[in-house]
Amino acid sequence: MTKSTVQTTGRTYGGMSQEERIAQRRQQFLRAGIDVFGTEGFRSVTVRRICKEAKLTDRYFYECCGSIESLLMDVYEHCMQKTLKGVTAHIASQASTKQWQQLIDTILDSFFQEMEDPRVARICMFEADGASEDMHQLYNRYIGKFAQLTIQVSKHYVDDWQLSDEEGDVIGNALIGGVIQVTRNWVLSDYQVPRAVLVSGAGKIFAGMATLFGLTTNKDLQPASSTDLEGISARL
């Protein structure tokens, strides 16, 4: 977590160092934030409510988090990092595939699977956007990360990339913006549409856009190496 500067030296207590106890409390507040923000929302939540859920005192809250807004930012980043890590792991697992559509469907399925947790979906799709200027910037930064990932993976499979960086950014953001809106509608419908239908529908949009990248989706691709794809992820 970001916020307060805390002392990390001290005696061992209960078999744990002070540094370990602080880390443990941070995790308790993160878990509490996911549960409370994900079920009750951000705007009505108090420090007392978070502390009750975490089973810790407000002293520890201010030591670890600083403010409700800071905790929301930490919780959002935790959820998005987990989602991004899951997506990139699936990309690496598909390094040997020769089918663009299979690769894209795997990526989309990983993303939608993370959003099947209604707490995570509420935090990432609704509560974070517009909560504050700092939160808004963090939200946009992660949208940008997913847009960059889309373009960088596409570039990896195209021998003669014709799009400028600016055009790539526009297309990447358009694609991810579409996925975000689809996800929001899915959550608001209480997940009435099967995940497989979302993957299939969104995958067709990506397939259509692939022609702009110079990819032919019904032809075999040159397989990538998992090391190369992991390198793309590490640069985000």
The Cα–Cα gap between 21 and 17 comes to 6
| Selected residue with higher pLDDT from 164 and 220 | 164
Q: In the 8-state DSSP scheme, what is residue 13?
A: B
Across residues 40-58, what is the average pLDDT? 95
Among the ranges given (77-81, 158-162, 189-193), the one the predictor scored with the smallest mean pLDDT: 158-162
On the question of pLDDT at 221 being above 80, the answer is no
pLDDT digits (tens, 9 = 90+) for 126-147: 999 888 999 999 999 999 999 9
Q: If you average pLDDT over every residue of the chain, what do you get? A: 85
**Beta-carbon contacts of residue 87 (< 8 Å; ≥ 6 apart):** 107, 110, 111, 146, 149
Q: What per-residue confidence (pLDDT) applies to 3?
A: 47
In terms of Cα–Cα distance, which of 117, 120, 125, 127 is closest to 191? Answer: 117
Q: What per-residue confidence (pLDDT) applies to 193?
A: 96
Q: What per-residue confidence (pLDDT) applies to 91?
A: 82
Please give the domain boundaries of the chain with CATH numbers for all domains. Answer: 18-66 (1.10.10.60), 69-234 (1.10.357.10)
Mapped onto helix, strand or coil, the DSSP state of residue 194 is coil
Across residues 78-104, what is the average pLDDT? 83
